[in-house]
């Protein structure tokens, strides 16, 4: 979608999320490995 189209439209999608950058240690490190593991949450 061009910038001219974005300015003309009143609603809809103008971008697609490709990557989300978060602070370090937001999630456990093993999630990056792609290994299926169970997360144990202390009660």
Contact assessment for residue 28 and residue 39, using Cβ atoms and an 8 Å cutoff: yes
Cβ neighbours of 36 (radius 10 Å) = 5
Contact assessment for residue 1 and residue 14, using Cβ atoms and an 8 Å cutoff: yes
Chain centroid to Cα 39, Å, comes to: 20
- pLDDT at residue 6 in the model: 85
- What's the residue count for the chain? 43
Alpha-carbon span 43 to 33, nearest angstrom: 26
Residue 6: DSSP 8-state: H
For the chain, list residues with pLDDT below 70. Answer: 30-40, 43
- pLDDT at residue 30 in the model: 67
Q: With a threshold of 0.85, does the pTM exceed it?
A: no
């Amino acid at each position: 979608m061009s910038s001219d189209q974005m300015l003309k439209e009143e609603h809809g999608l103008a971008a697609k999320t490709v990557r989300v950058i978060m602070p370090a240690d937001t999630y456990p490190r093993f999630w990056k490995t792609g290994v299926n593991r169970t997360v144990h949450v202390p009660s």
